[in-house]
Amino acid sequence: MRGEPMPLLSRVADSVYWMARYIERAENVARFIGVNLNLQIDLPLAPAQQWQPLVDTSGDAALFKERFGDATQARVIEYLAYDPENPNSIASCLRTARENARSVRETISSEMWAQVNAMYLQIQSQRSLPEPERMLDAFREIRMGCHHFAGVTDATMTHNEAWHFMRLGLMLERADKTSRILDVKYFMLLPSTKDIGTPYDDIHWSAVLKSVSGFEMYRKQFGRIKPADVVDFLVMDNEFPRAVRFCIKSASESLQAITGTPGGAFRCRSEQLMGQLRAELDFTSVDTVIRGGLHEYLDSLQLKMNGIDTGLREDFAVRVPVSTPGSFDAHRNA
């Protein structure tokens, strides 16, 4: 007999959400590093100019400065990929993802657990920076490991409430990171606005597209590389899976699947914020974005996504009145 499915434990919802977010984060840090390694070959800049923006956008610049000094390739890669003290290094992301996965092994499939565990063991066994000739491959392998996880997740786990919480986490994280990759480009352009419209600019934008595996898909749709088109593609595209709008659309669908609220309505704070952001992306043109300043727009996007994240935590953790014994301490993983 098929009954009403038991809703997910709030703690489990939180853990699967963060597990997915951290794996996606690990993948994106690998992408950040990959794009910069490529850029360095095509377009050598002074190390600080080349690598500092990565620390600025995906890490804690003050902490980095204090511990490592000036940005060089080796130091930034060490910090972003392997540093156990940087909570957002690839190694830390995979450790946190695994800890979360370990706490919900009964919810996810064995194959998913095995893959998270394998990625964790792999990066733990990496004792020093990869040799230069292995460098690009090393980060490609991390990306492929994350793809493997995504594939196993879709193919071995029921697309139930837990799966939707994972997709929510993944899509919000991805949207945030695509917007940050665009921001890295913005930061790198700052000192060299004179390059706009030159072949160097073309290399820059191509690198950004490649870093989100978007180069080929962009070509099919737009042909020549033009900054406005790249922004249009990465922010406003409705079909490219790493575009911000696509991600928010998917996240919003998962949220609806979780709450059962019909489209175009909301019953809780996170749904309201998600709906507003989705509508904004649906009805904003790229010209407006560029006229108002890309960096400012991306900043506001990130703030809105943080608001959704906070809303999710409040909407799905059951709070028990203080008078009841054992009142609930919100469990935070991040």
Partner 1 sequence: MRLDSYDTGGFYDEMFEAPGRPRPEAHFLLETIGGLGEGQLQRCQQAAERILVQLGITFNVYGDSAGTERPFPFDLVPRIVNAHEWDWIERGLKQRIRVLNQFINDIYHDQRIIKDGVIPEEVVRSATFYRPQCVGLNPPKGVWCHITGTDLVRHSDGQIYVLEDNLRVPSGVSYMLENRDLMKRTFPQVFEGLRVRPVNEYPSLLLETLQDIAPADTPGKPVVVLLTPGMYNSAYFEHSYLAQMMGIPLVEGRDLVVEDDTVLMRTTKGLRRVHVIYRRIDDDFLDPAAFRPDSLLGVPHLVSAYRAGRVALANAPGNGVADDKVMYAYVPDMIRYYEGGDAIIPNVPTFLCWRDTDRQHVLQNLDTLVVKAANEAGGYGMLVGPQSTAAERTAFAEKITANPRNYIAQPTLGLSRVPTLVGESLEGRHVDLRPYILYGDDIRVVPGGLTRVALRKGSLVVNSSQGGGSKDTWVLSPGAGGDQQ
Q: Which residues bind partner 1 (CB under 8 A)?
A: 1, 3, 6-13, 99, 102-107, 110, 113-114, 117-118, 121, 161, 258, 316-318, 320, 324-326, 328-329, 331
User: Which CB atom, from 51 or from 165, has the smaller least distance to partner 1?
Assistant: 165
Contact 16, 128 (CB under 8 A): no
Distance CA 11, CA 24 (A): 20
Question: Which residues 6+ apart lie within 8 Å of 194 measured at CB?
Answer: none
Contact 233, 243 (CB under 8 A): yes
Distance CA 231, CA 235 (A): 6
Tell me how crowded residue 332 is: count the other CB atoms within 10 A of its CB.
Answer: 9
Q: How far is the CB of 42 from partner 1 (least distance, A)?
A: 39
User: Which CB atom, from 263 or from 325, has the smaller least distance to partner 1?
Assistant: 325
Q: How far is the CB of 75 from partner 1 (least distance, A)?
A: 28
Distance CA 128, CA 132 (A): 12
Q: How far is the CB of 218 from partner 1 (least distance, A)?
A: 38
Q: How far is the CB of 303 from partner 1 (least distance, A)?
A: 25
Q: How far is the CB of 327 from partner 1 (least distance, A)?
A: 9
User: Which CB atom, from 264 or from 325, has the smaller least distance to partner 1?
Assistant: 325
* Token representation of residue 109: 């499939």
Q: How far is the CB of 98 from partner 1 (least distance, A)?
A: 8
User: Which CB atom, from 133 or from 329, has the smaller least distance to partner 1?
Assistant: 329
Residue identified by tokens 């919100």 is: 330
Contact 205, 230 (CB under 8 A): yes
User: Which CB atom, from 16 or from 243, has the smaller least distance to partner 1?
Assistant: 16
Residue closest to 33 by CA, chosen among 81, 68, 71: 81
User: Which CB atom, from 117 or from 284, has the smaller least distance to partner 1?
Assistant: 117
